[in-house]
Amino acid sequence: MTQRVELATVRDRLAVDEVVTEYAVAVDDGDWETYRGLFTSDGRADYRSAGGIEGDAKAVAAWLAESLRGFPVRQHLIVNRRVRFGVWEQDTGDTARVRADYVNPMGAAAGDGDGPAAAPDVVRGGRYAFGMLRTDEGWRLNEVIVREMWRRLPARSAAPAAP
């Protein structure tokens, strides 16, 4: 591999990684316009393994906005990112696949503003599969698949003892 190809690969890797980060921030901040803008015009997302829907970015953004309304505190931690680029004639192609693990704590109520929020009400973990295409506007998502692997719900308080 030449230095020029290696530099192009590093630049693409950073750009793809930025899209994954922007995705997490958009969901956590409820910025559905940015979320939709991260996708190609025919981009789709599949949240069925997490109890959600599968559909185009616009429909999924509307579903996320509604279903996450009860959790104003959200924080995606996306780690162990594996990036693989499509290869065409020994050069970096215009496609990328990213596999990444996630942990996603969500809280139903924010703190009082003077300190941190209470412990999260729900914590989910799993793996994302991101499919990306290079477009005239840069790298964009054409596919997001969520594979929820575990979920921790709040502990239920014991019922009070009968008098």
Q: What is the pLDDT of residues 137-160, one digit of tens each?
A: 999 999 999 999 999 987 755 455
Query: Which of 24 and 115 is assigned the larger pLDDT?
Result: 24
Q: What value does the mean pLDDT take over residues 109-120?
A: 60
- Print the SS3 string covering the chain: CCHHHHHHHHHHHHHHHHHHHHHHHHHHHCCHHHHHHCEEEEEEEECHHHCCCEEEHHHHHHHHHHHCCCCCEECCEEEEEEEEEEEECCEEEEEEEEEEEEEEEEECCCCCCCCCCCCCCEEEEEEEEEEEEEECCEEEEEEEEEEEEEEECCCCCCCCCCC
Q: What is the pLDDT of residue 131?
A: 96
Instruction: Record the pTM.
Output: 0.85
Q: What is the pLDDT of residue 163?
A: 45
Q: What value does the mean pLDDT take over residues 4-9?
A: 81
Taking phi over 0 as left and psi of -120 to 50 as alpha, with beta for the rest, 113 belongs to left
Contact between residue 136 and residue 33 where contact means Cβ atoms under 8 Å apart: no
- Given a cut of 90, is residue 106 above it in pLDDT? yes
Q: What value does the mean pLDDT take over residues 43-61?
A: 98
Q: How far apart are the first and last CA of the chain?
A: 77
Q: Which segment of 6-10, 69-73, 116-120 scores lowest on mean pLDDT?
A: 116-120
State the chain's mean pLDDT as an integer. Answer: 88
